[in-house]
Chain A
């Protein structure tokens, strides 16, 4: 392994948790999924030919899906990947009231996406992965990931424009 698991966790901690949360919609289960994925990786010590970071993201996603399967029902409260309790950025020259409303709409648009589309956006924007890495993690061709990502952002734009 060129990159250690510790390095990957330190560098992608937030992205891994956000991906898990976007799958489970439950913060506790998302944390369990990240932990379970690393426990599995430590236990099995897989020999990775491809990108190690992509492999870890795939492991966390699979563990999150396992959590959902074990739960067997929808969570009582659907939790989003966003921290709604965090103080809103101050409105100023750089962030207008319109931007603030736009941000609210975009958060809703992301949450309303189908799982497969939301996962790609989360891995790209919040995981910092390349299309190639996302392709490895999801076992999809790079071009498919890139076109699906662009299509999803276009879909979010249209959804927002229809509401404004």
Chain B
């Protein structure tokens, strides 16, 4: 009934905050990160992309280790953990197609694993330079580094699986260069 009014309101050009507000807020958020011990990772953002490749590779290796650790847990049992059936659709396929009811790593398929717990932790926020889009709109680049952590728990067999994935997003924030 009032959709035309809403459309008219949406069409209006709004007054924008100045770029200095972004800097003020992001510096606050950066201070918070440093307080909780993430400052070193924040420094990492100052490095060229080569550093990111190394960082990403290290994280990928960590994921591999975690998955491998889980496989070993499933097969042999470490730290006194009884080995048992574990399955996660996001980590390994439920069935390797051999028709023997086992997945690709040889572990029997089970439905005992509880739902995924997901945590997305932003580890660094870095306001970057101002660039101009093709329509000459000025935008500030803001780089977000985040670490996604997914956890699966098989309480029956006392097994916990954790997968950590680093992520980097570049946000473009429109700005008014008054």
Mutual binders A and B: yes
- A residues near B (Cβ < 8 Å) are 2, 4-7, 9-10, 13-14, 17-18, 21, 27, 30-31, 34-35, 38-39, 42, 79-83, 86, 89, 99, 102-103, 106-107, 110, 121, 125-126, 150, 153-154, 156-157
Which of B2, B20, B24, B32 makes the CB contact (< 8 A) with A150? Answer: B2
User: With contacts A10-B171, A102-B8, A157-B2 known, is A80 near B15, CB below 8 A?
Assistant: yes
Given contacts A31-B24, A79-B15, A110-B9, 10 further A-B contacts (CB under 8 A): A10-B142, A10-B144, A14-B17, A18-B14, A21-B15, A30-B17, A31-B20, A83-B15, A103-B12, A157-B2
Q: Which residue of A lies closest to B175 (CB)?
A: A13
- B residues near A (Cβ < 8 Å) are 1-2, 5-6, 8-18, 20-22, 24-26, 28-29, 31-32, 120-122, 125, 142, 144, 171, 173-174
In whole angstroms, how far apart are the Cα atoms of A145 and B6 in the complex? 16
Q: Which residue of A lies closest to B122 (CB)?
A: A4
Q: Within 8 Å CB of A18, what residues of B?
A: 14-15
Q: Within 8 Å CB of A102, what residues of B?
A: 8
In whole angstroms, how far apart are the Cα atoms of A5 and B144 in the complex? 12
